[in-house]
Amino acid sequence: MGSYEEYEFEAEDTLDLGNRVGFRVLIQKGRPVGTSGEVELRYASVTVWEDGKIARNTNYGDIDEARAAAERLAEERG
């Protein structure tokens, strides 16, 4: 993050799909040092929890693909 003068991270959407599977859409924004432009990364994260800890986290560039994977995983774990 040292390459950015401004940096912001936010969750756009968060879902508990049951069976210890979570889905989240995240946005990272930043303004690189010495520029006036901003860069943005929007992606999804599928998280599996075990014993109150993250056991696995997979990030996807395709939000729809991530949601489908998370829904399948939650159903499989049921």
pLDDT in tens, 66-76: 999 999 999 99
Task: Quote the CA–CA distance of 58 and 2 in Å, as a whole number.
Answer: 25
What is the predicted pLDDT for the residue at 46?
Answer: 98
Instruction: Mark residue 37 as left, alpha or beta (left: phi above 0; alpha: psi -120 to 50; beta: remaining).
Output: beta
Instruction: Mark residue 20 as left, alpha or beta (left: phi above 0; alpha: psi -120 to 50; beta: remaining).
Output: left
What is the predicted pLDDT for the residue at 19?
Answer: 97
What is the predicted pLDDT for the residue at 2?
Answer: 79
> If you average pLDDT over residues 3-27, what whole number do you get?
96
Residues 6+ apart with CB under 8 A from 22: 14, 15, 16, 45, 46, 47, 48, 49, 70
Q: Would you place residue 42 in the very low, low, confident or very high pLDDT band (cuts 50, 70, 90)?
A: very high
Task: Quote the CA–CA distance of 34 and 71 in Å, as a whole number.
Answer: 42
